[in-house]
């Protein structure tokens, strides 16, 4: 079943969500408006029709922007949920078929209120295009300096990864950064340290081994969970765990893993497009390659050296 969802964005950056009416599957939960593609119908024509029927608006197809494709299973019912950003329409949206509609800023939407298949759409809306990861050989002091500089230049999602530093020092360094991270409205994820993430009230980025070993999401919805993935099986497991996003690597040859064959962009695109969550391209990439990632079904670029200008620890 092919389903189109329209993500209407108004001039204030708010998005429209609709509540499923009584008697429907997942009644009471919220979703992005849209519906099924009828036999012989073009997908974008289906979206135009559904938004007219559900909201009473005429949308401008020239304003459409592809966002994410979410393959999903509700029990024995499988579907492909294709989300499209809509920025121009005529008419005032009304709840013609939904129990209610509401305009909210993405950060004010609790993922738990959304139907499960719509949660990756919300993540794709607000997750940034960049995901810097601190250099593995940095000290806590140097990594803290790098993170503060990154926040000042506009980075809003960062991974705190210092594998050579004792865990207590890693946690203390993260705790010291949190007031500034939160002042910028940013997110700092601890690498692999689920216990530390729970203690500090931050997100966590899981290793591929953790993705394979864990049986359930390690943090509640609202606390970010990322996952390191290297193949479609790990992407599927990350989605099943309820991870908010994943990195897929290595896309290009890397200094850290010179013997690992790179995926290349065509394979990255195939795997990312069939994943049920936003996917960052990682491995031998720099921020300037965000357009390339977006062209190949990626959320954006994750990286280490490319984000820190090969910065080394002066200590």
Superfamily of domain 130-308: Aldolase class I (3.20.20.70)
Residue 256: pLDDT over 80? no
Give the domain ranges of the chain. Answer: 2-126, 130-308
Q: What pLDDT is recorded for position 310? A: 55
Q: Specify the CATH number for 2-126; select among 3.90.79.10, 1.20.1740.10, 1.10.357.10, 3.40.50.300.
A: 3.90.79.10
125, exposed or middle or buried, with CB in 10 Å at 0-12, 13-18, 19+? Answer: buried
- Cβ burial 140-173 (10 Å sphere, 16+ → b, else e): bebbbebbeebbeeebbbbbbbbeebeeeebbeb
What pTM does this model have?
0.94
Q: Give the model confidence (pLDDT) of 53-83 as tens digits.
A: 999 999 999 999 999 999 998 877 899 999 9
Q: Give the model confidence (pLDDT) of 274-294 as tens digits.
A: 999 999 999 999 999 999 999
Q: What pLDDT is recorded for position 167? A: 98
* Mean pLDDT for the stretch of residues 3-7: 97
Q: Give the model confidence (pLDDT) of 109-156 as tens digits.
A: 999 999 999 999 999 999 999 999 999 999 999 999 999 999 999 999
């Amino acid at each position: 079943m092919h389903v189109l969802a329209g993500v209407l964005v108004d001039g204030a950056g708010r998005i429209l969500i609709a509540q499923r009416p009584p008697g429907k599957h997942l009644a009471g939960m919220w979703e992005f408006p849209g519906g099924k593609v009828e036999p012989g119908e073009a997908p974008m024509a289906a979206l135009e029709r559904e938004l007219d029927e559900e909201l009473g608006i005429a949308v401008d197809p020239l304003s459409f922007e592809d966002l994410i494709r979410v393959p999903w299973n509700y029990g024995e019912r499988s579907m492909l949920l294709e989300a499209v950003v809509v920025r121009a329409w005529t008419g005032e949206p009304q709840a013609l078929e939904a129990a209610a509609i509401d305009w909210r800023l993405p950060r004010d939407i609790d993922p738990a209120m959304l139907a499960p298949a719509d949660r990756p759409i919300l993540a794709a809306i607000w997750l940034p295009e960049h995901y810097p990861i601190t250099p593995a050989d940095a000290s806590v002091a140097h990594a803290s300096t790098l993170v503060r500089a990154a926040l000042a230049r506009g980075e809003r999602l960062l991974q705190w990864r210092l594998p050579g530093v004792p865990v207590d020092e890693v946690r203390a360094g993260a705790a010291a950064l949190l007031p500034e991270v939160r002042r910028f409205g940013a997110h700092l994820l601890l690498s692999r340290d689920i216990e530390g993430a729970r203690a500090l009230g931050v997100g966590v980025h899981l290793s591929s081994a953790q993705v394979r070993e864990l049986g359930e999401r390690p943090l509640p919805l609202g606390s970010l969970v990322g996952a390191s993935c290297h193949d479609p099986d790990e992407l599927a497991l990350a989605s099943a765990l309820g991870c908010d996003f994943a990195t897929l690597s290595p896309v290009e040859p890397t200094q850290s893993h010179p013997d690992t064959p790179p995926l290349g962009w065509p394979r990255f695109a195939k795997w990312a497009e069939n994943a049920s969550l936003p996917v960052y391209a990682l491995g031998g990439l720099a921020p300037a390659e965000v357009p390339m990632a977006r062209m190949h079904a990626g959320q954006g670029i994750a990286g280490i050296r490319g984000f820190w200008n090969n910065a080394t620890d002066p200590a």
